[in-house]
């Protein structure tokens, strides 16, 4: 079983739609959680951290459920420019910045 | 300011040849990471350097893979006797060191080196 699992998609949605991605992680000692965005043939970039209380950044909302070991990302009012692969990322406790990446969920927003 | 840079951007080699991939981290970042991303897969951790500490090599897939970081800055990832399954994008990232086990300092990624082994 992979440490971080995501639905690979693709999610094909029209502009203006609301779309949600889910992610599960297996290591209960996981400590910090993030969503990264990766455009085609580009490097990953941090989109947002995920906090236990849930957090919002503009059209993006992230949620964490530690009991279920589940993370989500909600995108409202999708834009064409949101088309990318969204990577669920987990930092395990202790040590350093060791990150475990999910394989990503691909989003395609069409006109 | 300048981000993480990697060279070459693309490398095509023949099976059995050795390759060297280079990473220049962001100035002042003491932590450096190498990852591998195969087609349609997530990033796979390879190795981590922090200052003068012994590197964490736990992610290196075989003894054909090695990495160095000289002078605490530039790093080189070497793959000996390349195999077709080594074909992937090799990504380097750097960050400030974490101040505690629970903190996180953002990793900034370079554009990667796309390696193709024929």
Residue of B nearest to A4 (CA): B42
Residue B42 to residue A44, Cβ atoms within 8 A: no
Does B106 reach chain A within 8 Å, measured CB to CB? Answer: yes
Angstroms from B15 CA to nearest CA on chain A:
24
| pLDDT tens-digit series, residues B99-112 | 665 567 889 999 99
Tokens 């996981």 belong to which residue?
A: A30
pLDDT value at residue B100: 61
The helix/strand/coil state of B85 is helix
Q: CA-based diameter of chain A, in Å?
A: 45
Residue A43 to residue B91, Cβ atoms within 8 A: yes
Is residue B96 exposed (0-12), middle (13-18) or buried (19+ Cβ within 10 Å)? middle
Rounded distance between C-alpha atoms, residue A45 and residue B108, angstroms: 7
**More confident call, B53 vs A20:** A20
Residue of A nearest to B89 (CA): A41
Structure tokens at B78: 């070497």
Angstroms from A78 CA to nearest CA on chain B:
23
pLDDT value at residue B102: 56
| pLDDT-flagged residues of chain A (< 70) | 93-97
């Amino acid at each position: 079983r992979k440490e971080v699992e995501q639905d690979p998609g693709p999610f094909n949605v029209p502009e203006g739609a609301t779309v949600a991605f889910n992610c599960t992680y297996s290591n209960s000692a996981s400590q910090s959680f993030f969503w990264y965005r990766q455009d085609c043939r580009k490097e990953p970039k941090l989109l947002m951290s995920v906090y236990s209380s849930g957090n919002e950044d503009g059209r993006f909302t992230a949620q964490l459920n530690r009991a279920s070991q589940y993370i989500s990302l909600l995108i409202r009012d999708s834009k064409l420019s949101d088309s990318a692969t969204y990577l669920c990322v987990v930092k395990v406790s202790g040590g350093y910045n060791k990150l475990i990446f999910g394989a990503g969920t691909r989003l395609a927003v069409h006109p | 300011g300048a981000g993480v840079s990697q060279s070459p951007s693309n490398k095509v080699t023949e099976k059995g040849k050795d390759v060297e991939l280079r990473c220049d981290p962001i100035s002042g970042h003491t932590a450096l990471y190498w990852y591998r991303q195969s087609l349609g897969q997530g990033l796979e951790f390879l190795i981590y350097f922090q200052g003068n500490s012994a590197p964490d090599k736990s992610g290196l897939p075989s003894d054909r893979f090695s990495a160095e970081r000289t002078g605490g800055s530039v790093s080189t990832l070497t793959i000996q006797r390349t195999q077709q399954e080594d074909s992937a994008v090799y990504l380097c990232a750097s960050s400030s060191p974490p101040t505690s086990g629970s903190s996180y300092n953002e990793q900034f990624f370079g554009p990667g080196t796309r390696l193709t082994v024929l």
